[in-house]
Amino acid sequence: MSNQLKIKIEAAVNTDNDFSMVQLVSEAWPIIETSSRLQKLIPGLRQIFGDKGYKKLSQAILRNAFLIELVKVPKIETTKFRQRWYQQLDDDPRGCPFEECFEIALDLLEHLPEWIKNPSHAEALKLSFDYSILPYEAPIDYCERLTDNGRIHSRGNLIWYYDELILRTLKLRKYLIGSEQSPDVSFFRQVLTDKIKVKTYLTDRVLTGDYKTNREKRWETHPLSVHFAERKTCMAIEYALVTELCCFKGFPESFRQRLQEEGILAQHLPMALCPITGDALSYEAFRSELLNPTHGKSDFQVGHRNPLKHEAINDQGSGHTAQNISWISADGNRIQGSLSLDDVRILIQRISDNYTVHGWWPEHRTGRA
């Protein structure tokens, strides 16, 4: 049985044609269901999730247990689905033998009925299925960046994961893109898919250094790369960016209050400002730009307050974390360049002091003598 499953998975991904999850599920999932460990579980899971939910569950298990989207080498141009035992992953902490991947999949399925007895867990799983912004999304995450055996993708380290912020993030998605109360579903859907998804969940294009990246999932890049982040960290970033967007100047006040009343947003949130220029970020200007874009131009960007640094990988003030990312104006992004937030503010203060000393302030703009 297991050999047949391995062959089916390899055939699905090691092809010049586009990857088809539908085909993989149809050919591989029935083999998984025949495992003796699952015989008593499958009917119950089908009943709990229904046809649609059970299909999404099967896709999520196959995707997360067996597959990875690797950046193609040596050109680092695109990503391609590969099996976890693909030769490129030899001596790589992301690699995993087929037999262990199979055990991971069975573990996830066996633990699921007990896990979803918690209503919050069940709600998070359903919301991730119904309001996903990534293919085959589910609250599955790694416990540790690296385990004692030196690998990240290993049995016991990939689990059903829940925390309260994950549920709030998914509820916020629902209100923005799936609720009649949303002030603009099309705008928020585009924000999530065009802006937040790319900057939050996918790596930048990096062609230098030890770990080259180009739009992999953050948790599927090399775990020693500064571009790596667990799924839970990425979801915290999504929540931070959407919360900040809800504090843009001109954001519909009644909708923000509704989110606060529901406990999805905190009370007494400050207005969103560009962290470099201090200018208020405008909801209407951002909405107009996103729905009527000019190629190559964006006045509203997402950036790291402090550049990603390998030596500060566990410092919440740096790295790919919710504390180190925010919306930034195009002017602010140009001014900051590769400087840290503290460094750029020190620079601006020095420039301001120099302008005062040299009398360079335009009197008609500043009122300075």
pLDDT tens string 263-312: 999 999 999 999 999 999 999 999 999 999 888 788 999 999 998 864 44
Query: Rounded to an integer, what distance in angstroms lies between the CA atom of residue 71 and that of residue 213?
Result: 7
More confident residue, 17 or 261: 261
The percentage of the chain sitting over the pLDDT mark of 70, rounded to a whole number, equals 96
Among the listed residues 179, 342, 157, the one whose alpha carbon sits nearest the alpha carbon of residue 252: 179
Query: Rounded to an integer, what distance in angstroms lies between the CA atom of residue 32 and that of residue 25?
Result: 10
Write down the domain spans for the chain. Answer: 1-162
Question: What does the pLDDT read at residue 357?
Answer: 94
Q: Which amino acid is at 92?
A: D
Query: Rounded to an integer, what distance in angstroms lies between the CA atom of residue 83 and that of residue 87?
Result: 9
Query: Rounded to an integer, what distance in angstroms lies between the CA atom of residue 11 and that of residue 3?
Result: 12
Q: Which helix (H) or strand (E) holds 162?
A: none
**Interacting residues of 366 by C-beta distance below 8 A, sequence separation 6+:** none
> Averaged over 7-26, what is the pLDDT?
93
Please give the radius of gyration of the chain, using alpha carbons only, rounded to the nearest integer: 23
Query: Rounded to an integer, what distance in angstroms lies between the CA atom of residue 334 and that of residue 328?
Result: 10
Question: What does the pLDDT read at residue 2?
Answer: 77
Indicate if the pLDDT at residue 92 is higher than 90: yes
Question: What does the pLDDT read at residue 310?
Answer: 42
Q: Which helix (H) or strand (E) holds 24?
A: helix 21-33
Two tokens, residue 80: 């391609």
DSSP state of 339: -
Tens of pLDDT, residues 239-261? 999 999 999 999 999 999 999 99
DSSP state of 87: G
Specify the 3-state DSSP secondary structure of 301: strand
